[in-house]
């Protein structure tokens, strides 16, 4: 674990995050020990380590909470995305509570907040999240198959733990987004779509595993692309997922259009 003194904890949004309607990003950590094999963040300039080392290190912004207390007034009422290059609920957060401290600092200023995570630890902070007037927790659940999850996200939490977290947050009155992003190989598209439909998420987002040719979709590793081809040789999984959503009338968003702040709900795709 490395400790660093950050210059800022709330950074003006750029690129697709800004296009999505966010004003600020907030990353309590650099690096992510969930270490997903496809993670786009390893390609971003914030990663100054070899890509092969992604998932084996993280840096803590030791002054994150102090900075958040100082900077929070400037994000009042604005859209904040937490986090863009790390997971705010990776394991170290349990002890360090930087994400929780930042939320406490933001609360009086009521930004429009989106939390993006694979970490069920987010339920620990349900008491604070429920006090934001405009908030959504996006839980990434990109497959229905635990073996696929272990192959692509070996150090991330099991899928059922994420579903349980989603249920917990929803029952606490906190809007939940379900992110099938990037969509990994799926065992049973119809059953997965049915489960997603039955949950009643505020937003459902699906994103093709590797979609750079159409201009959306971050870089991913050749290793991950090769794995996806082995599990889904025909490459038809994404279209099967969309068809299953349409069959059930699920109002889903594809890729970029699904990542928008609460209060600026875009037009989704549904049966028709």
- Work out whether 86 is an interface residue with ligand SF4 (CB under 6 A): yes
Q: Shortest gap between Cβ of 194 and ligand SF4 (angstroms)? A: 26
Q: Which of residues 41-70 bind ligand SF4 (CB under 6 A)?
A: 41
* Segment interacting with ligand SF4, rule: CB under 6 A, options 2-10, 11-19, 31-39, 98-106: 31-39
Q: How far apart are CA 105 and CA 125, in angstroms?
A: 13
Taking the C-alpha atoms of residue 47 and residue 141, their distance in angstroms, rounded to an integer, is 24
d(CA 205, CA 177): 8
Contact status: 118 vs ligand SF4 (CB under 6 A): yes
User: 70-104: b or e for each residue (b if 16 or more CB lie within 10 Å)?
Assistant: ebbeebeebbbbbbbbbbbbbebbeebbbbbbbbb
Assess 210 for contact with ligand SF4 (CB under 6 A). no
The span of 27-35, 68-76, 96-104, 163-171 binding ligand SF4 (CB under 6 A) equals: 27-35
- Closest by alpha carbon to 90, among 58, 136, 130, 54? 58
> Which of 22, 29, 34, 238 is close enough to bind ligand SF4 by CB under 6 A?
34
Torsions phi, psi for 271 (to 5 deg) = -55, 150
Interacting span for ligand SF4 (CB under 6 A) from 35-43, 45-53, 101-109, 124-132: 35-43
Angstrom distance (rounded) from CA 37 to CA 228: 11
Q: Kindly state whether residue 142 participates in binding ligand SF4, applying the rule CB under 6 A.
A: no
Kindly list the residues in this chain that would bind ligand SF4 in the complex (CB under 6 A).
Answer: 32, 34-36, 39, 41, 86-87, 118, 156
């Amino acid at each position: 674990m490395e400790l660093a003194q950050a210059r800022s904890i709330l950074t003006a949004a750029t690129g697709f995050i800004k296009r999505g309607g966010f004003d600020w990003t907030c990353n309590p950590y650099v690096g992510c020990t969930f270490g997903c094999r496809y993670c786009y963040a390893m390609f971003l300039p914030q990663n100054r380590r070899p890509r092969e080392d992604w998932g084996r290190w993280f840096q803590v912004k030791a002054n994150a909470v102090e900075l958040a207390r100082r900077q929070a007034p400037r994000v009042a009422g604005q859209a904040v995305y937490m986090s863009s290059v790390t997971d705010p609920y990776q394991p170290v957060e349990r002890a360090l509570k930087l994400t929780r401290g930042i939320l406490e600092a933001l609360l009086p200023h009521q930004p429009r907040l989106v939390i993006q995570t694979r970490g069920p630890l987010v339920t620990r902070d349900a008491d604070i999240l429920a006090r934001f007037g405009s908030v959504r927790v996006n839980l990434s659940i990109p497959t229905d198959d635990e073996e696929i999850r272990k192959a692509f996200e070996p150090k991330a939490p099991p899928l059922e733990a994420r579903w349980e977290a989603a249920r917990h947050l929803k029952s606490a009155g906190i809007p939940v987004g379900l992110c099938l992003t990037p969509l990994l190989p799926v065992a049973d598209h119809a059953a997965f779509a049915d489960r997603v439909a039955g949950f009643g998420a505020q937003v459902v987002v699906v994103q093709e595993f590797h979609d750079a040719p159409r201009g959306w979709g971050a870089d991913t590793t050749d290793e991950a692309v090769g794995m996806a081809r082995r599990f889904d040789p025909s490459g038809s999984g994404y279209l099967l997922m969309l068809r299953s959503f349409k069959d059930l009338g699920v109002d889903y968003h594809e890729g970029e259009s699904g990542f928008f702040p609460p209060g600026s709900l875009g037009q989704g795709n549904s049966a028709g």
